[in-house]
Structure 1
């Protein structure tokens, strides 16, 4: 509000020191403003670093959880394979022992004995390299499951798996309990199961595709033996059973299977032979020898494609 002339006169009377002081104050104000901007930028950078650290922490936690889930899944898969091999080898060892106890029976065919020893070697290799299944404490585990509560469709907590499972069936005298976990059929001892606590609801029923898969897997487990008995069946049902059984035996790596069709009028025998002739997974087949059941049994050698080995002729054929 002062006139320009007054301001000019006042400025002319200021000393050089006053002018320098005013210039320094102006520079200080500029520096203060720049420092404030730098401080704000630094605060923003610190906030960004904090957010980046939090994102990194969350990503690291997610990665660890996923890796733990992968390790658990692999360990469970290896544990399942070991359980199946243990069951299979125990059954085969018992069968070999029974065979050796019969004086009229010659030594077990070499292919089956070699296959049996190969499974034992596989089992030993898996035992050496297996990953331990993580044991996780859970509030879902309650008291041991009473025998009267072990029934198909019931839910229980598995201590070895660390999760809640559904019971599929129990073997006689409840020696082993078959349960479903993540689409797999697993055998557990009864003492492994505990009551579920906390009022957790059962999972919804599996979709049709999953249910069909579980039923097929159930049948595969039940028929995972070296022989199938078709006696007393109609031809159509016999071939349906035989087709599924041969497929599972091929997947299981059986070198041969024993098909019991009986003697009778030879109808089932002819149907079995007709099926085996058109089955690409069967290399050859023959009648059973005396101790194996004679012509009431057919021994089918399994493998990838025909091997050129001769096949038995039907009675009366040239």
Structure 2
């Protein structure tokens, strides 16, 4: 009897725990749904705000055009003036149609919406101006789009057309011309390290671009500080194939002969 009572108590505790988990899960589901609805409202407000701004700009442009036409009509009261005005309007309409046709022909092919990526131009339903894709679509099929100064998350279903701008080819990189007169010997004797080492590198570069095979560096013997610094530089320089002290008759330890990499 005692065991049966304990099992009932355990079953009741498990039911209570399950009910509590279900209650928490339902509360979490409601909270997520509330947040999703808030995000959707915010997205629609951003899109609607952008649409209103564009419509206001278009209406202002139409008002200016109407005012200009009225001014022209007031100044052209004669029959000849009206005929010229009508002819100008027809020509303007023809030019506008040609411009639209050319723009349509020059437009790059549409990108399948499933392949939209950052940098693509997209047209949203109800918005005349294109936006720029900033992020890839997420699991919910939404992506971030920049519309002028605004940014909004929009579903793929709201995108009418997508285009990928043509890549601008990078200008070719040309190597600097070889020096007109590259020397095969430099003298840094008596210089400080700050003066000598940059000069050695400069002449190494010039010798390499001029196609010289050898470069003699006259650094002198002295205390050996300058000689050691020059040779330490040469030991890790990419333009140096090898180096060695000069022959005794050519200056010995006071001169380093460099074989320039080809």
TM-score range, shorter chain: 0.3 to 0.5
Query: TM-score with structure 2 length normalisation?
Result: 0.32
Query: TM-score with structure 1 length normalisation?
Result: 0.27
Higher RCO structure (Cα 8 Å, ≥6 apart): 2
